[in-house]
Amino acid sequence: MRFLLALVAAWPLIAQQQLGRDIFKELVEINTTDSVGDNTRAAEAMASRFRAAGFPQGDIHVLTPAPRKGNLVVRFRGKGAAPAILCIGHLDVVEARRSDWSFDPFEFREQDGYFYGRGTQDMKADDAILIANFIRLKREGFTPERDLILALTADEEGGGFNGVSWLLENHRDLIDAAWCINSDAGGGAIRNGRRQYMTLEGAEKTYLSFRLEVTNPGGHSSLPIKDNAIYHLAGGLARLAKFDFPVRLNDITRSYFERMASIEQGQRAADMKAVVQNPRDAAAIARLSSSPSYNAQLRTTCVATMLAAGHAENALPQTATAVVNCRILPNDTAPEVEHTLNEVMADPQIKVSPMTAASISPVSPPNSKILDALTEATAALWPGTPVIQFMEAGATDGRHLRNAGIPTYGVSGVFLDQDDIRAHGRDERIPVKSFNEALDFMYRVIHILGEQK
């Protein structure tokens, strides 16, 4: 009898893992890159799954602002006792060339305890998890206190305007909510095979690139002069390489270092405590800054990412250009960063120009409902694992929602080895165990939030 009861209890979890895997495979094997992929095909495929699960046709919307740029919005009807909650993920992925990979990047492969394929980390695993749990809750007859909305979108990777920003402008009524769960941020950290912590993302940096350009009349290379466009640009970039923006903590990053100080040990823990107490402690800052991840939490960063110069090997260069990519803190501004870059270049011949308009978003206010749900689900599955508030160093669609007045919080149940982050890279993968556990985790989180008033 005990064996039978255990089998019955285990069956929903086994069925959920198979459903999640099937959805995950289907998504990975639909190419959704900007160049040749088709986001609309992925959106339609998932819409079919929701229709088959019993969601009314009127609550399933495939919205296509441009060819191959479809978005899917699904509403899970509740009792209307509280404002809706929005869950978001993006269906598009970055480019992946077969010649760069060990196998076809759009072949879903399970091997040695991992799922492989483009988008497995960023972010089709989380998409599949959200879809599978909406379907599971529907099949179980769950009626939430409030509507739950799922938006799976286009163009997040390319920074285009066919996804969340387009929905806000053209179909805000379909995605309007009290707040948003963004599964493109947050998640768990593994180091040396051990789970360290679960993160709740409440802020993110802004992505902004600047073009640096030097022009010159040029001339014949047999008659060189000191006024060389390449030398001017190289000098400015060398100064940038040595420069650090000032440390500026906000409520999220201050809380992050306070909590991390109890996880880290020795000098690093002491440095975290010191920087919280005194953000001008130069020695502690220098040691923490040696870690790229901690450095990104401390300050705005700008780094040279592209370089081009000259037009012939036997001619003095008439132009020299570079792209500097910045990740700007929520409490900094784009004009401030541009002014600082000009000061660092210290050369009037180097013209600094922003390549796009910045979209700096505010820090989301504390939300006890999400924190409590995250803490409860984490404690149930991974006892003793702390939940830490976190600022995303990259950029997500969350910025569009925050700027539209919808507080947004990064929540993902996926634990990743911090020494094996392959998002956007070669042979992208996610542990099978992490995916299966995240299915259960997000089921708990959505269920808890759905029951709240």
Residue 368 lies in a domain: no
Phi, psi for residue 228 in degrees, rounded to 5: -115, 130
* Averaged pLDDT score across all residues of the chain: 95
Could you report the per-residue pLDDT of 92-135, keeping only the tens digit for each?
Answer: 999 999 999 999 999 999 999 999 999 999 999 999 999 999 99
Confidence band, pLDDT 50/70/90 cuts, at residue 3: very low
Same domain, 417 and 342: no
Could you report the per-residue pLDDT of 41-77, keeping only the tens digit for each?
Answer: 999 999 999 999 999 999 999 999 999 999 999 999 9
Residue 359 lies in a domain: no
Same domain, 305 and 341: yes
pLDDT of residue 158: 81
Same domain, 402 and 276: no
- The pLDDT > 90 percentage for the chain reads 93
Confidence band, pLDDT 50/70/90 cuts, at residue 357: confident
Q: Are strands 179-182 and 351-354 parallel, antiparallel or unpaired?
A: unpaired
Could you report the per-residue pLDDT of 296-310, keeping only the tens digit for each?
Answer: 999 999 999 999 999
Same domain, 140 and 9: yes
Confidence band, pLDDT 50/70/90 cuts, at residue 195: very high
Residues written for the chain: 453
Could you report the per-residue pLDDT of 220-237, keeping only the tens digit for each?
Answer: 999 999 999 999 999 999
Domain extent, residue 142, equals 2-185+396-451
pLDDT of residue 7: 44
Residue 445 lies in a domain: yes
pLDDT of residue 394: 86
Task: Using the predicted structure, report yes or no on whether residue 257 has a pLDDT greater than 80.
Answer: yes
Task: Using the predicted structure, report yes or no on whether residue 13 has a pLDDT greater than 90.
Answer: no
Same domain, 331 and 263: yes
pLDDT of residue 161: 87
pLDDT of residue 9: 52
Same domain, 181 and 116: yes
Same domain, 319 and 400: no
Please give the tally of structural domains in the chain: 2
Could you report the per-residue pLDDT of 27-37, keeping only the tens digit for each?
Answer: 999 999 999 99
Cα distance between residue 135 and residue 16, in whole Å: 10
Same domain, 335 and 429: no
Task: Using the predicted structure, report yes or no on whether residue 246 has a pLDDT greater than 60.
Answer: yes
Residue 71 lies in a domain: yes
Q: For the residues 161-182, what does the mean pLDDT come to?
A: 97
Residue 377 lies in a domain: no
Could you report the per-residue pLDDT of 384-424, keeping only the tens digit for each?
Answer: 999 999 999 988 999 999 999 999 999 999 999 999 999 99
pLDDT of residue 159: 73
